[in-house]
């Protein structure tokens, strides 16, 4: 098993790649073999332990050319270095690897110059690329819940990371504001609302609408159970035949026909939900450049389905529904338009995608949607391609796993979902209790405001530290821990460094005339921290390439652990000399800048004081 890892030492690899390529080319020439090695072909990795060096270069790729084993090639390359007068302290052969030890003083000066400059970490790898990211995609029959929170922070963080790599970003949200699920809330309110409003009930407007959705499903469950008992039907059959479902379907037909009373009720209830959702977005630091509404795009989607029918891409079934057979693409038959002419999800997705590309011709479009919709997006992308839209090849589904609580799976229709606002309130109250228990109210300034930021830090980090594809269990108490791999731990590290720098500013007389001696930063804790800083641009680029903020979260945790060791082992304000103290302060400032910047990229509020 290869224990070496990909390094993030940037330009420090390049001179050694050039040297190794030159040595290999000498060996190839001396052996009378045709061909040459380009420095770009040299792979760089990090050895499994610091004692083995800072960068390892594997020789596996050159065994076939030189007709020798990788360990032998590594020895020959090192012998070439020795013959060329390279200091023996900087290289050694370790099995199939040429391991390199960097000049710590040189690296310290270069890394800190970069890390303390503006734009550190901004590689520009995506410069000139237009990327649209769709996320959240709420329905207007209920408030945002824990599942949306994972979607929202994933979409927002990915967008920030892509922008940090130079991409031109456009964040969009599709509001699913029509369909049978919307009509269920409308019907319950129409029959039982009695002119109640969010104001009269003193409840957040999106929560008010969500309660009517639960009300509908509670009544539907009663009707379904009665039909099961009286007619012996299966649950799905009984639910489909329930009088409430028939009423909801009729309400949907009235809406699509433009019935004034139905449309007026729809507008009222949708406005309540959207108003409440936008407050939650603002609270969590999520924003969008444009909102799209399903009600504005589904008709265009219908036109696309009818166009495909005329072209022979789709067909009409005996009962009138329009469908497509995708067995040739190893997919199934898919209904695109119901027999009564009403739309389904994929119908409006046609129209929405087409509208978006017309509005803002993107190079790539990323859909942040749960893994249960993988098949849906496979079908959507195939059908848009069949309809002649060449940009369909640039559509990507960023699939993420389910998120639940320790109590079990959540269900919107049964009212067991944890609403986003309620969860954040709970985390905030727990953080506030911790601040009061430690008697930190005066030190933090505004305890409620700080507790809110700790709550968001705990929530967002917990949701992002896991790779998007994985299902996860959200544990509120664990997320709020100030120890270990958590958001509050990272926030505390930022506050700790800020406090130390404030103290240094107050005692500036001790190092007022000192010159930061970066060449003095050669101890192991300092060296590990410098290497962690140097890895920041690579961490951002890797997170962008994989559309995975967990990579940046892992980097931040590693950086914080390195700083903690440095802080413990290397006196800063009481260093042996003023020059060393100034150098360690500069190193701390660089860590703080990276910490603040990276926390922003993963949607965690930075705190000066905790």
The residue among 49, 78, 102 that closes a domain is: 102
* Structural domain that includes position 182: 135-414
Q: Does residue 549 fall inside a structural domain?
A: yes
C-beta separation of 608 from 592 below 8 A: no
Closest CA to 354 of 132, 127, 156: 132
d(CA 42, CA 24): 10
Burial zone of 502 (CB within 10 Å; 0-12 exposed, 13-18 middle, 19+ buried): exposed
Residue 57, classed as helix, strand or coil, is strand
Cα–Cα distances (Å) from 182 to 152, 186, 193, 294, 526, in that order, read 21, 6, 15, 12, 58
Q: What is the pLDDT at residue 416? A: 54
Interaxial angle between packed helices 260-284 and 243-256, expressed in degrees from 0 to 180 and rounded to the nearest 10: 90
Q: What is the pLDDT of residue 509?
A: 65
Return all residues near 113 (Cβ < 8 A) that are at least 6 apart.
Answer: none
Number of C-alpha atoms within 13 angstroms, CB side, residue 199?
A: 2
| 3-state secondary structure at position 508 | helix
pLDDT digits (tens, 9 = 90+) for 501-517: 999 988 776 676 678 78
- Please say if the pLDDT value at position 173 is more than 60: yes
Residue 111 lies in a domain: no
Average pLDDT in the chain: 92
Tokens 């729809």 correspond to what residue? 266
Does residue 179 surpass a pLDDT of 90? no
Query: Beta-carbon neighbour count of residue 282 at 10 Å?
Result: 10
CB 305 within 8 A of CB 350: yes
Helix axes 374-386, 345-359, angle to 10 degrees: 60
**DSSP helix/strand/coil, 134:** strand
Q: How far is CA 25 from CA 18, 34, 56, in A?
A: 10, 10, 19
Q: How many CB atoms lie within 10 A of CB 295?
A: 21
Write the CATH number for 569.
1.10.730.10
Whether 124 is covered by a domain: the verdict is no
Tell me the per-residue pLDDT of 82-140, one tens digit each, with 9 for 90 and over. Answer: 999 999 889 999 999 999 999 898 889 999 999 999 999 998 999 999 999 999 999 99
Question: What is the CATH number for 86?
Answer: 3.30.1360.70
Beta-carbon contacts of 365 under 8 Å, excluding residues fewer than 6 positions away, are 131, 132, 133, 134, 353, 356, 357, 391, 394, 395, 396
Measured distance CA(494)–CA(496) in Å, rounded: 5
Pairing of strands 395-400, 403-404: unpaired
Taking the C-alpha atoms of residue 513 and residue 511, their distance in angstroms, rounded to an integer, is 6
Q: Is residue 389 part of a domain?
A: yes
- Is residue 118 assigned to a domain? no
Same domain, 427 and 405: no
Model pLDDT, residue 14: 86
Query: Is residue 129 assigned to a domain?
Result: no
pLDDT value at residue 1:
36
* Residue 145 binned pLDDT confidence (cut-offs 50, 70, 90): very high
The structure's pTM equals 0.90
Is 400 in the same domain as 488? no
Task: Count the Cβ atoms, other than its own, within 10 Å of residue 156.
Answer: 27
For the stretch 368-425, pLDDT in tens is: 999 999 999 999 999 999 999 999 999 999 999 998 877 655 444 444 568 999 999 9
In the chain, the number of structural domains is 3
Are 46 and 180 part of one and the same domain?
A: no
Residues 302 and 217 in one domain: yes
Same domain? For 378 and 253 the reply is: yes
Whether residue 147 is found in the same domain as residue 70: no
Q: Are residues 194 and 317 both part of a single domain?
A: yes
Write the CB contacts of 42 (distance below 8 Å, at least 6 apart in sequence).
17, 20, 21, 57
Residue 120 lies in a domain: no
pLDDT at 345: 83
pLDDT interval class at 293 (50, 70, 90): very high
The answer on 337 and 460 residing in a single domain is no
How high is the pLDDT of residue 8? 56
For the cut 70, the answer to whether the pLDDT of residue 330 exceeds it is yes
List, in order, residues 6 or more apart from 545 with CB less than 8 Å away.
125
For residue 328, what are the contacts with CB-CB under 8 A and spacing of at least 6?
none
Q: Are residues 406 and 459 in the same domain?
A: no
pLDDT at 510 (0 to 100)? 65
Residue that finishes a domain, picked among 356, 384, 414: 414
Share of the chain above pLDDT 90, in %: 81
Q: What is the pLDDT of residue 49?
A: 87
**In the structure encoding, which two tokens stand for residue 225, read together?**
């159970």
Beta bridge partners, 93, equal 98
Q: Quick one: 381 and 487 in the same domain?
A: no
* C-alpha torsion 479→483→485→488, nearest 10: 60
Is the pLDDT at 340 greater than 90? The verdict is no
| Statement to judge: residues 145 and 27 lie in one domain | no
Instruction: Provide the CA 442 distance to its chain's centre, in angstroms.
Output: 35
CA distances to 16, 409, 446, 481, 554 from 9, rounded to whole Å, are 12, 43, 40, 32, 17
Degrees, nearest 5: CA angle 359-364-369: 95
Contacts with 576 (C-beta within 8 Å, 6 or more apart), sequence order: none
How high is the pLDDT of residue 412? 44
Averaged over 566-578, what is the pLDDT?
Answer: 93
Of the residues 395, 414, 433, the one at which a domain ends: 414
Q: What is the CB neighbour count within 10 angstroms for residue 119?
A: 10
Tokens of 136: 């959240």
Give pLDDT tens digits for 59-90: 999 999 999 999 999 999 999 999 999 998 89
d(CA 152, CA 420): 11
56 shares its domain with 179: no
Q: Is residue 315 pLDDT above 70, yes or no?
A: yes
Are 190 and 161 in contact by the 8 Å Cβ rule? The answer is: no
Is residue 233 in some structural domain? yes
Instruction: Give 161's contacts (C-beta < 8 A, 6+ positions apart).
Output: 540, 543, 544, 549, 552, 601
Over 70: is that where the pLDDT of 580 sits? Answer: yes
CATH number, position 153: 3.40.50.620
Residues 190, 128 contacting (CB under 8 angstroms)? no
H/E stretch holding 404 reads: strand 403-404
């Amino acid at each position: 098993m290869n224990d070496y890892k990909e390094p993030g030492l940037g330009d420090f690899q390049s001179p050694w790649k050039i040297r190794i390529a030159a040595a290999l080319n000498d060996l190839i020439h001396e052996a009378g073999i045709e061909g040459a090695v380009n420095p770009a072909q040299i792979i760089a990795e990090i050895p499994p332990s610091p004692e083995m060096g800072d960068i390892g270069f594997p020789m596996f790729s050159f065994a076939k050319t030189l007709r020798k084993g990788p360990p032998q090639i590594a020895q020959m390359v090192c012998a070439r270095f020795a013959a060329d007068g390279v200091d023996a302290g900087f290289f050694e052969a370790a099995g199939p690897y040429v391991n390199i030890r960097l000049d710590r003083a040189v690296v310290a000066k270069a890394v800190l110059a970069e890390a303390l400059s503006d734009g550190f970490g901004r590689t520009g790898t995506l410069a000139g690329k237009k990327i649209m990211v769709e996320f959240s995609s709420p329905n207007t029959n209920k408030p945002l819940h824990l599942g949306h929170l994972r979607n929202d922070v994933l979409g927002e963080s990915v967008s920030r990371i892509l922008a940090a790599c130079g991409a031109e970003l456009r964040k969009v949200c599709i509001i699913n504001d029509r369909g049978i699920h919307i009509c269920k809330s409308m019907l319950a309110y129409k029959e039982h609302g009695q002119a109640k409003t969010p104001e009269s009930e003193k409840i957040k407007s999106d929560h008010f609408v969500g309660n009517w959705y639960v009300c509908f499903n509670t009544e539907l469950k009663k009707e379904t159970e009665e039909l099961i008992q009286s007619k012996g039907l299966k649950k799905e059959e009984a639910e489909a035949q329930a009088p409430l479902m028939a009423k909801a379907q009729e309400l949907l037909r009235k809406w699509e026909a433009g019935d004034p009373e139905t449309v007026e009720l729809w507008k009222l209830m949708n406005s309540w939900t959207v108003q409440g959702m936008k407050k939650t977005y603002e609270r969590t630091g999520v924003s969008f450049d444009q909102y799209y509404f399903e009600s504005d795009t589904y008709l265009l989607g219908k036109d696309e389905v009818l166009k495909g029918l005329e072209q022979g891409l789709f067909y009409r079934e005996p009962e009138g529904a329009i469908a497509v057979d995708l067995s040739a693409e190893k997919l199934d038959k898919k209904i695109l338009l119901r027999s009564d002419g009403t739309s389904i999800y994929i119908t409006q997705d046609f129209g929405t995608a087409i509208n978006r590309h017309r509005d803002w011709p993107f190079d790539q479009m990323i859909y942040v949607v749960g893994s249960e919709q993988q098949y849906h997006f496979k079908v959507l992308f195939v059908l848009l391609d069949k309809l002649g839209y060449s940009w369909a090849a640039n559509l990507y589904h960023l699939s993420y796993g389910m998120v639940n609580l320790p109590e079990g799976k959540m269900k919107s229709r049964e009212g067991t979902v944890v609403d986003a606002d309620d969860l954040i309130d709970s985390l905030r109250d727990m953080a506030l209790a911790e601040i009061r228990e430690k008697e930190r109210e005066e030190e933090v300034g505004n305890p409620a405001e700080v507790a809110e930021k700790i709550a968001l830090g705990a929530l967002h980090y917990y949701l992002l530290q896991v790779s998007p594809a994985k299902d996860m269990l959200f544990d509120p108490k664990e997320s709020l821990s100030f120890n270990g791999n958590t958001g509050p731990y990272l926030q505390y590290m930022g506050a700790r460094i800020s406090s130390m720098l404030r103290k240094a500013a107050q005692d500036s007389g001790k190092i007022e005339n000192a010159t930061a001696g970066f060449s003095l930063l050669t101890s192991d804790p300092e060296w590990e921290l410098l290497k962690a800083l140097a890895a920041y641009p690579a961490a951002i680029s890797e997170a962008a390439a994989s559309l995975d903020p967990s990579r940046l979260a892992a980097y931040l945790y590693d950086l914080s652990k390195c700083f903690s060791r440095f802080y413990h082992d290397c006196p800063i304000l009481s260093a042996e000399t003023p020059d060393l103290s100034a150098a360690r302060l500069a190193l701390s400032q660089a860590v703080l800048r990276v910490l603040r910047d990276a926390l922003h990229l993963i949607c965690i509020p930075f705190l000066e004081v905790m």
